[in-house]
Amino acid sequence: MKILIVEDNTSFATFLKKRLDKLSFISHIDIISTFKDLKNKLDYDLFIVDFILKDAKGEQINYLFENEKKVIVITNYEKEFLESEFKSYVIDYVIKDEISIDYLVRFIKRFYKNHYINVLVVDDMAFIRNTLNLYLSKIGLNVYLAQNGKEALDILEKEKIDFVISDIEMPIIDGEKFVKEIRKKYSLNELPVVIISATNDKEKLIKLLKIGCNDYLFKPFLKEELIIRINNFLDVYDSFMSVKKKLEIDSLTNVKNRFFLENSLPEMFDLYSKKSIAMLDIDFFKKINDTYGHQYGDKILKDFADIIKKSIRKTDIVIRYGGEEFLVFFPNTLKKEALIALLKIKKKLKENDYKYTFSAGIADEGSNLEEIIELADKRLYKAKSSGRDKIVIE
Ligand code: GH3
Ligand code: MG
Ligand code: MG
Ligand code: MG
C-alpha cells in the first residue's frame, strides 16, 4: 500500500511518517508540501492531506476528489474545515494531536484489512444503496449491492460475503424474513448482519436482535458515525476471530484440538461427499515417557504432529484427538489415497531415525462424522491388537 502525505509542516510530516513506517503493509510513504507538487502525483492508495497549505486552502482536496482519490484530512482548523464544502470530499479527518494520530494509525490498519472484506448491502432505495456503497468503498471494503432479500440470498450463494448490512422495509422478502433465511445457514459469527432502520421502534429492533441480527444503525446516518461504527464493529469481529483461532489450536503441537473437532469440523465435514478420516496412535508411548521422561515425550508429540503435517496436503486437517492420538481429516480423498499419506509418515519416521512406530485406522464409509470416526477408531484398535505398527483400512 502506498501513501502520500501532503503537509507543509515538515517536522509534523516526518513524525507522522515515522509512526506509519512501523506498519509492515505500507510499502511506500512519500511527503510533499505544496498543492503544486501534488499535480500528477496521483499513484497512491491513500492521501493524508493538510487542510491549509501555503498555496492552497482546500483546492488540493477538491483536486483529489475530482480524481476519485481516497483522502484523510489532518488539520488544526477543525471548525473551518467542518464548515467547508471539502468535508464531504474526504473519508475522514483528524486533528493534529497525539490522540488523533493514534486514531489515524488505527484507521489505516483497518483500511488495509478492509480490502480483504466483502460486504453485502441490501436496500430497496437506490439512494441508500449508493450512499452506503460510496462510504463503505471509501473505507476500503469491497461492496456488493442487492435491491431486496431475494437478490441478496442469490449473491450469498455465489460470492464469499463476510458481512451484511440490510434494510428492514423491503419488497419481496422483508428484512425480518431475510435474516431468518440467513440464520438457517449461517451462525451469528459466520455471517454478521447489521440492520439499518428508519424507525426508532425499540420493540421491533429487539425482535430483530433476537432472531439473529448482530447490531443496528439508524437512517439517516452521518458519514463519520457510519464509518466509525462499521470499523469498530469489524475490529471487534477480528479480535473475536483471532480468539476463536487460538481456542481451536492445541498449544503443545500447534495442530487443531478437540474444540475445533467439536465446533468447526462437523460443518466442514458436511461440505464434501467424498472424504476420509484417519486415526493415528503412537505405539507404546507410555514407555517413551517412562524411559526418557515426560519432556522428551512432549518433544516426540510435537515432532510427530510436524511430520504428519509435512506428509499431507494443505487442505487436510490434523487434530490432536487425545494424548498421543491424532485424527486427520482428508477432504476429497478415498481411504486408499489417505493410506498413501500415512505410509509417507511411516517412511519419514524411519528416515529420521525415530525409534517409535504408530498404528492407524482409516475409514471413508459412513454418513456422518461420528460414524466415520467410530469406524476408523475400530480399525485402529484392530491394528493395535494385531501387533501394532500397522495401518488398517478394512
Ligand atoms: P499403545 O501402543 O497401546 O497405544 O500404548 P501407549 O503406551 O502408547 O498408550 P497408553 O494410552 O497406555 O498411554 C498413553 C500415554 O501418553 C499415557 C500418557 O501419560 C501419555 N501422554 C498423554 N498426553 C501426553 C502429553 O501431552 N505429553 C506426554 N509426554 N505424554 C502424554
Ligand atoms: Mg426500504
Ligand atoms: Mg499409544
Ligand atoms: Mg492412546
**Domain containing residue 361: CATH number:** 3.30.70.270
pLDDT the model gives residue 68: 92
pTM value is: 0.71
- Whether residue 136 contacts residue 121, with contact meaning beta carbons closer than 8 Å, is answered with yes
Which residues have their alpha-adjacent CB atom under 5 A from ion ligand 2? 124, 167, 169
Q: Please, how many CA atoms are within 13 Å of residue 318, restricted to the half-sphere of its CB? A: 26
Residues found in the chain: 394
> Is residue 124 in some structural domain?
yes
Question: Strand, coil or helix: what is 306?
Answer: helix
Assess whether 128 and 197 both reside in one domain.
yes
Q: Please check whether residues 284 and 381 belong to one and the same domain.
A: yes
At residue 392, the pLDDT reads 98
Examine the domain organization and report whether 219 and 269 are in the same domain: no
Q: Is position 253 within any domain?
A: no
Which residue has a Cα nearest atom 23 of ligand 1?
A: 323
Number of domains in the chain: 3
In a domain, 187, yes or no: yes
pLDDT at position 219 is 85
What cell numbers appear for 336 in the block? 486408499
Task: Tell me, yes or no, whether 7 and 98 share the same domain.
Answer: yes
Q: Is the CB of 380 under 6 A from ligand 1?
A: no
Measured from the CA of 295, which atom of ligand 1 is nearest? Answer: 29
**Closest C-alpha among 189, 324, 201 to residue 255:** 324
Ligand 3 centroid vs 307 CA: distance in angstroms? 17
* Ligand located closest to 121 CA: 2
The answer to the question of residue 250 being in a domain is no
295 and 336 in a common domain: yes
Report the CATH number that the domain containing residue 215 is assigned in CATH. Answer: 3.40.50.2300
Domain boundary among 220, 244, 268: 244
* 1 C-beta neighbours (distance < 10 Å), count: 16
- Examine residue 220 and say whether the peptide bond preceding it is cis (omega within 30 degrees of 0): yes
Please indicate whether residue 250, judged by its CB atom, sits closer than 6 Å to ligand 1: no
The residue whose C-alpha atom lies closest to atom 15 belonging to ligand 1 is 286
Range of the domain at 343: 258-392
Instruction: Please state, in angstroms and rounded to a whole number, the distance separating the CA atoms of residues 293 and 173.
Output: 64
What is the residue with the minimal CA distance to atom 2 of ligand 1?
Answer: 283
171: CB partners within 8 A, 6+ apart:
124, 148
The answer to whether position 307 is within a domain reads yes
Nearest atom in ligand 1 to the alpha carbon of residue 285 is 8
C-beta of 360 in contact with ligand 1 (< 6 A): no
Shortest-distance atom of ligand 1 to CA 282: 8
Q: Do residues 278 and 367 share a domain?
A: yes
Distance CA 190, CA 87 (A): 36
Are both 185 and 216 inside the same structural domain? yes
Distance 365 CA to ligand 3 centre (A): 24
Query: Which ligand 1 atom minimizes the distance to the CA of 388?
Result: 2
Is the four-CA dihedral 316, 281, 345, 364 of positive or negative sign? negative
Nearest CA to ligand 1 atom 5: 284
Tell how far the Cα of 384 is from the centroid of ligand 3, in angstroms.
9
3-state SS, residue 63: helix
Per-residue pLDDT of the chain (394 residues; tens, 9 = 90+): 999 999 999 999 999 999 999 999 999 999 999 999 999 899 999 999 999 999 999 999 999 999 999 999 999 999 999 999 999 999 999 998 888 899 999 999 999 999 999 999 999 999 999 999 999 999 999 999 999 999 999 999 999 999 999 998 888 888 889 999 999 988 888 899 999 988 778 888 899 999 999 998 888 888 888 999 999 999 998 888 888 888 999 999 999 999 999 988 998 898 899 999 999 999 999 999 999 999 999 999 999 999 999 999 999 999 999 999 999 999 999 999 999 999 999 999 999 999 999 999 999 998 899 999 999 999 999 999 999 999 999 9
Query: Measured in angstroms, how far is the CA atom of residue 335 from the centroid of ligand 4?
Result: 22
Q: Which atom of ligand 1 is nearest to the CA of 289?
A: 29
Task: Tell me the C-alpha distance between 247 and 263, whole Å.
Answer: 11
Ligand nearest to the CA of 320: 1
